[in-house]
Structure 1
Amino acid sequence: MRDYRHGRGKPRTGWEKNSQIQRRSLTCFNLGFTSTLFRPHQYRRLPPPVAAMPQGDYIERHRKLHGYRHDHFERKRKKEAREVHKRSAMAQKALGIKGKLFAKKRYAEKALMKKTLAMHEESSSRRKVDDDVHEGAVPAYLLDRDTTTRAKVLSNTIKQKRKEKAGKWEVPLPKVRPVAEDEMFKVIRTGKRKTKQWKRMVTKATFVGPSFTRKPPKYERFIRPSGLRFNKAHVTHPELKCTFNLEIIGVKKNPNGSMYTSLGVLTKGTIIEVNVSELGLVTPAGKVVWGKYAQVTNNPENDGCVNGVLLV
């Protein structure tokens, strides 16, 4: 209980108490008799309180001596399993600035986790180690040919460039039906009362790179559903008459506009770049071709796959 006789409702400290006893005992001496209040050991100044010292790793020591509880690991596993649900409940109940900060923290954690998993996946996948290539070495599939001279290489390169220039716009589908904005995008209503209409969801197939991370929902204007994202395409070689399942590197040009190109939308007639390293195509100089352009020849959102023809 607080003692309000000592000003501002502060409880009496040991020093104040001792000083009061000292004053009362002195008064008794002045009166000429010894009082029972006089206790010399009580009005001596008390030492300051000592901070609690660490008592050693007693929990660790106890575990070393006696081991864990019989259900320790089971309890730990269950606690970790419950943590997900607790975090979910926290995320749903947190309001205002607390909720925003929590969402921001979780977003950063997930992005980091996604990148870490991708890194581990990349490191675990087996790949061929490139040996040191000696100068002037020729690949096995070119050993039976004559070694090309510099002049011949230059001549072939110039011819190839002229051919590319001449047939720059020669594609399997020269004309495609334009896609209206209403067909391309679906309006997403947001806000507490669903009155805001600034978000759009892409209804066509899209391509996003492997290092793609979504923006926070508050700032994401265009939503590209993960169910309509494609990383591979069935590309047919027009001369070999063979179809290969190749990885998409990027979207070069969408015929409907630059905005759709930047969003990576895959519609009929879109020019995409595919990884043709496994086809074994080589340049006149003997270098392996890494990427080549192909044109999408179907409607991926209807077929559920991307079909295309390689531009040779």
Structure 2
Amino acid sequence: MALCYGYCSDYHEKKRKTDHQEAHEDSKKTIKMHEKRHTKQKNDGKTPQGAVPAYLLDREGHIKIYSNRKEKEESMERIVTKACCVGDGFTQKPPKYKRFIRTMSSCVKKTHVTHPELRATFWGASVLSICQVTIRGVITKGIVLEVNTSELGLATQGGKVIWGKIWQVTNNPENDGCMTVVLLL
């Protein structure tokens, strides 16, 4: 046994064994995956405990109650947990005076714009307004927005620059950290 300065005495032996074992683990995983593909599994149809219907999922996920009081029912302050749209001149009021607290990290002002005819994606188009009536300006997948398209160079047949167009959100902004929209033709 040789002296290894800077290493444990059995470091190299352990490393050799773990490297050797990784190949066996990978082959076991692929064999299991192929076996699972050919077997049919019965769906028992039981709903998990605490399951909520689809029409209630959207209602419950938007806000969470923020209070240091014991009586949660009487608390007036609520944090908006989804991505939301606010205007350029939006300034936050102190939490004492507002009913809904929007974290500025979830406020979306700019989008990734994908144009299907041009087959290109542009970054930095600002959101002008939300066309659909949404709860507290919350943006989720499928919401229709009006986006500033003057930077894209879109023009009418008369040569006038198009200021805003209607776009639809194609991703979940609260999960991805950015918003991607596609032009509605």
| Structure 2 contact 82–139 (Cα < 8 Å) conserved | yes
| Structure 1 contact 236–310 (Cα < 8 Å) conserved | yes
1:182 corresponds to 2:182: no
Q: CA 1:259/1:235 → structure 2, altered by over 3 Å: closer, same or farther?
A: closer
Q: Match of 1:218, SS?
A: helix
Q: Name 1:267's counterpart in structure 2.
A: 140
**Partners in 2 of 1:242 and 1:203 — Cα distance?**
31
Query: What percent identity do the matched residue pairs reach?
Result: 49
Higher relative contact order (CA 8 A, sep 6+): 2
Matches of residues 1-312 of structure 1 in structure 2 within 5 Å?
179-190=57-68, 195=72, 196-245=74-123, 246-253=125-132, 258-260=133-135, 263-312=136-185
**Partners in 1 of 2:68 and 2:165 — Cα distance?**
41
TM-score norm. by structure 1 comes to 0.39
Shift of 1:214: 2.0
TM-score norm. by structure 2 comes to 0.63
Aligned partner of 1:280: which letter? G
**Partners in 2 of 1:296 and 1:290 — Cα distance?**
19
What value does the CA root-mean-square deviation take over the aligned residues? 1.9
| Structure 2 contact 147–164 (Cα < 8 Å) conserved | yes
| Structure 2 contact 116–183 (Cα < 8 Å) conserved | yes
| Structure 1 contact 250–264 (Cα < 8 Å) conserved | no
**Partners in 2 of 1:244 and 1:184 — Cα distance?**
29
Deviation digits for residues 97-141 of structure 1 (CA, Å, limit 9, x no counterpart): xxxxxxxxxxxxxxxxxxxxxxxxxxxxxxxxxxxxxxxxxxxxx
Shift of 1:270: 0.7
**Partners in 2 of 1:259 and 1:241 — Cα distance?**
29
Shift of 1:259: 4.8
Aligned partner of 2:99: which letter? R
The structure in which a higher percent of residues are strand is 2
**Partners in 2 of 1:184 and 1:226 — Cα distance?**
15
Aligned partner of 1:249: which letter? L
Aligned partner of 2:102: which letter? R
**Which has the larger Rg?**
1
Deviation digits for residues 60-89 of structure 1 (CA, Å, limit 9, x no counterpart): xxxxxxxxxxxxxxxxxxxxxxxxxxxxxx
Q: Match of 1:293, SS?
A: strand
Gaps of 5+ in 1: 1-176
Deviation digits for residues 12-38 of structure 1 (CA, Å, limit 9, x no counterpart): xxxxxxxxxxxxxxxxxxxxxxxxxxx
Shift of 1:229: 1.2
Q: Match of 1:249, SS?
A: strand
Q: Match of 2:93, SS?
A: coil
| Structure 2 contact 95–101 (Cα < 8 Å) conserved | no
Q: Match of 2:77, SS?
A: strand
Structure 1 segments, 4+ long, off by >3 Å, are: 193-196
Q: Match of 2:151, SS?
A: helix
The count of residues paired between Structure 1 and Structure 2 equals 129
